[in-house]
Structure 1
Amino acid sequence: DPDGRAGASHLLEHVVFRGTERRSRRQIALALESVGGTLNAYTAREHTGFEARVLDRHLPEAVDVLADLVRHPLLREEDVDHEKEVVCEEIAAVEDTPDDLVFEMHGDGLWGGHPYGRPIMGSRETLAETSRNDLAELHGRAYTGANLVLAAAGAVEHDEFTELVVRGFGDMEPGEEVAAVNPPPRPARGTTAVSRGSAQVHVVLGHPTPGQSHPDRYPLLLLSAALGGGMSSRLFQRIREELALAYAVYSYQSFYRRAGVCGTYLGTRPGSGSAALDAVREVYGDLAREGLAGGELRRTKDQVKGEIVLSLESPAARLHRLAGFALVGEAFVPVDELTRRIDRVSEDDILRLAGEVMDPERQYILCLGPEGAEAAQADHQDWR
């Protein structure tokens, strides 16, 4: 997004569906739905995606519609104004969903003014400042051949797909590749409390990590899985099964080109935020001191490898994986090689990373809810 125009990429994604040089918005909606297919789009931190899902015999129509959307949107003033209203409703939906809002607020606090910390949808204020000309400039700069990746998965022949892509996109202006953002500055540390009326206190505890190409990605996946990646994880067993302090408690990780974040989310009843956060810190401390030894490390490796293989049963997952490597200019990593990299992770790798990312001096905590301040004021413990 341009500076001061947070949410512009997401808004542009919306506006292209309002009409192209060849299709009205109604014709866009009918183009694939009329043959049983679907057409969708999304905006992530570092890219926008347009997706079509159709029966194999309707692949030509799908590629044609995608090319039309990406290359020939009308970007009319009235359509920009219309979609601003729609996006404001999306923002309101997030504001009404505290377990979504807490992640947006945590990212903003952790990364500050860096693009990784901006809400993907922007804000009402940045949307109001974003003009039709801003979107046209963004489209001309970003929607070019140098920035485009096309991928397909499922019942598709490579040569046929390539021919359709050349037909739809072959004469597209190459343009210049949009540069990756600069690495974020030193992330924030400490704790922020936000008082808000809700039935629970929502807590996100996050730690900065290296970016997606760093070899530490693989031990981090294992560390996150052991910490809060399922019913057998340490956090689930301690926070929910033993202490009954939360229904939802889990770990997460997000890897971007220049940096990443991993952490923990939990939602607990008012009055229990401090106890829940203390329990999370105890689990963190145990893992930072002990790492994953022997049987637990082997089980976690089997869990993560199995989840990866099962996740690729759907063509959509395989599609996203193919495109993901291409978007960042990395060589495709076959699943067999991916599982080998996971198998090569050692106990020492886990212990080293656990000590780094679970260091209380590197964490940023955000507590959102009716007694967010109570949870935030819980004293840090010395886990080391």
Structure 2
Amino acid sequence: AGARSVATGAWVRQGAAQDPDGRAGASHLLEHVVFRGTERRSRRQIALALESVGGTLNAYTAREHTGFEARVLDRHLPEAVDVLADLVRHPLLREEDVDHEKEVVCEEIAAVEDTPDDLVFEMHGDGLWGGHPYGRPIMGSRETLAETSRNDLAELHGRAYTGANLVLAAAGAVEHDEFTELVVRGFGDMEPGEEVAAVNPPPRPARGTTAVSRGSAQVHVVLGHPTPGQSHPDRYPLLLLSAALGGGMSSRLFQRIREELALAYAVYSYQSFYRRAGVCGTYLGTRPGSGSAALDAVREVYGDLAREGLAGGELRRTKDQVKGEIVLSLESPAARLHRLAGFALVGEAFVPVDELTRRIDRVSEDDILRLAGEVMDPERQYILCLGPEGAEAAQADHQDWR
């Protein structure tokens, strides 16, 4: 049977990296406050609008955008688009609601502080990007929240939540003409406003190692490397390199760190692409006393890749893995929705799946070797170790990985 659900969303090109100076977390706080009530709906009516018909309504804040998303049965798409338009365009932003959500976000911050494998990424980003907006915590801090006023949020909403910064998309059981009609009805008379400027990356992200001592059952380690932005052609060899490095049970890191050495339960690679820069790297969690050995083993794997790249058979397998994962993921309407919006948010022309797989197939062994030498260069690493004896991991000898 064909899918009967629709995933739809509205995204604003305003995220944590564009928060006003001294108001880190403002975009995230605004995302919270809009759910407290609009000109047409109370907070309970917002909650019931789609849940009462079996749908879902969510929102999130990222580095360079804020997203509002819904999933419903196809016959309830009009209600979903109407709710999204109401949230984006007509929030009340009352003083008492701002104060209420500040308390909620403080609890959210506390939850991250109690989750070291989340906290280590936040601290790593802060250290890697320094005082640059890319390094700001998305939720801000208790101090910046206290400084953020209702007027700050109203000004941010008026400046950023405009037609020039809006992306609307739908995927699943939906007809283009029907969706267009609903969008025109809900958003067609929005003021265009001015586009929020993209953030320029810092000229030189941090390098070296930082240790943060903290009581926890494990030492949590993140190694990160700056990369080009989402639209750069190096994105495709980066995806392959990351998959071979730590993208599953067959990856080099998993096989070496977990299967051979038993130094970690969780070890994986990651990548995040922004409009004009990005970051890729590795996470692992290991027992106290093993941080140095685990880092040495990661360096060994990095060094092998930097020297040798991916040989023909491994490169072919990695291409098949990445292409298969992409195609399988797109069986979900939500995944197709995110892909549609992702291209639009960075101003990139949509790339059909067939063309995407062709670009992956065109990546050569030389592309991989060149990129591995760049992103695994020891002179470009920033490492953060968090946990008991975090300094022990950080003080591991920095051998020449190449």
TM-score where L is the length of structure 1: 0.99
Shift of 1:182: 1.8
* Cα deviation digits, residues 339-362 of structure 1 (max 9, x gap): 000000010111111111101110
Secondary structure of 1:30 counterpart: helix
RMSD: 0.6
Distance 1:117 1:218 in 2: 24
SS in 1 for 2:289: coil
Q: Among the aligned pairs, what percent are the same residue?
A: 100
CA deviations over 1:79-125 (Å, ceiling 9, x no partner)? 00000000000000000000000000000000011111111001101
Q: For residues 383 and 345 of structure 2, what CA distance do their matches in structure 1 show?
A: 31
1:328 is displaced (CA, Å) by 1.3
Shift of 1:373: 0.1
On the 8 A contact 1:200/1:267 being kept in 2, the answer is yes
Rounded to whole Å, the distance in 2 between the matches of 1:26 and 1:356 is 52
String of CA shifts for 1:244-286, please: whole Å, max 9, x gaps: 0000000011111111111000000000000000000001011
Q: How many angstroms apart in 1 are the aligned matches of 2:397 and 2:388?
A: 19
Q: Deviations over 1:316-343 (max 9, x none)?
A: 0000100111111111000000000000
> Matched residues in 1 for 2:312 and 2:182: separation?
51
Deviation for aligned residue 1:189: 0.3
Counterpart CA distance in 2 for 1:364 and 1:377 is: 13
Task: Give secondary structure in 1 for the equivalent of 2:193.
Answer: coil
Q: Deviations over 1:145-183 (max 9, x none)?
A: 010011000111111111111111111111011110122
SS in structure 2 at match of 1:150: strand
Tell whether the 8 Å contact from 1:184 to 1:259 is kept in structure 2 after alignment: no
Equivalenced residue count is: 384
CA displacement 1:266-312 (0-9 Å, x = unmatched): 00000000000000000101111111011011000100110111111
Separation of aligned partners in 2, 1:177 and 1:57: 34
Q: Could you say what secondary structure the match of 2:171 adopts?
A: coil
SS at match of 2:58: strand
Q: Is the 8 A contact 1:189 1:364 kept in 2?
A: yes
| 1:53 Cα deviation from its structure 2 partner | 0.9
| Pairing partner for 1:66 from 62, 76, 84 | 84
- Rounded to whole Å, the distance in 1 between the matches of 2:307 and 2:57 is 49
Q: 1:284: which partner in 2? A: 302
1:14 aligns with 2:35: no
Distance 1:215 1:305 in 2: 16
- DSSP-derived class of the 1:152 partner: strand
CA distance in 1, matches of 2:188, 2:208: 51
Stretches (4+) displaced over 6 A: none
Contact 1:184 1:258 in 2 (8 A): no
In structure 2, the partner of 1:217 is 235
Counterpart CA distance in 1 for 2:192 and 2:367 is 42
Separation (CA, whole Å) in 2 of partners of 1:123 and 1:91: 7
Deviation at 1:185, TM superposition (A): 2.9
Alpha-carbon distance in structure 2 between the residues aligned to 1:214 and 1:171? 34
Distance across 1 between alignment mates of 2:344 and 2:308: 38
Distance in 2, Cα, partners of 1:338 & 1:326: 16
How far apart, in 1, do the equivalents of 2:202 and 2:355 lie? 30
Q: 1:153 aligns with which of 155, 158, 171?
A: 171
- Cα distance in 1 between the residues matched to 2:57 and 2:338: 15
**In structure 2, C-alpha distance between the alignment counterparts of 1:343 and 1:217, rounded to whole Å:** 13
Task: Provide the C-alpha distance between the structure 2 equivalents of 1:57 and 1:210, rounded to a whole number of angstroms.
Answer: 42
Q: Distance in 2 between matches of 1:233 and 1:21?
A: 52
Please list every run of 5 or more consecutive structure 1 residues that lacks an aligned counterpart in the other structure. Answer: none
Contact 1:111 1:185 in 2 (8 A): no
> TM-score, with normalisation over the residues of structure 2?
0.95
C-alpha separation between the residues in 1 aligned to 2:363 and 2:398? 30
How many Å separate the matches in 2 of 1:41 and 1:137? 20
Q: Following the alignment from structure 1 to structure 2, what is the Cα–Cα distance between the partners of residues 62 and 19? A: 16
Tell me, which stretches of 5 or more residues in structure 2 are unaligned?
Answer: 1-18
Matched residue, 1:201: 219
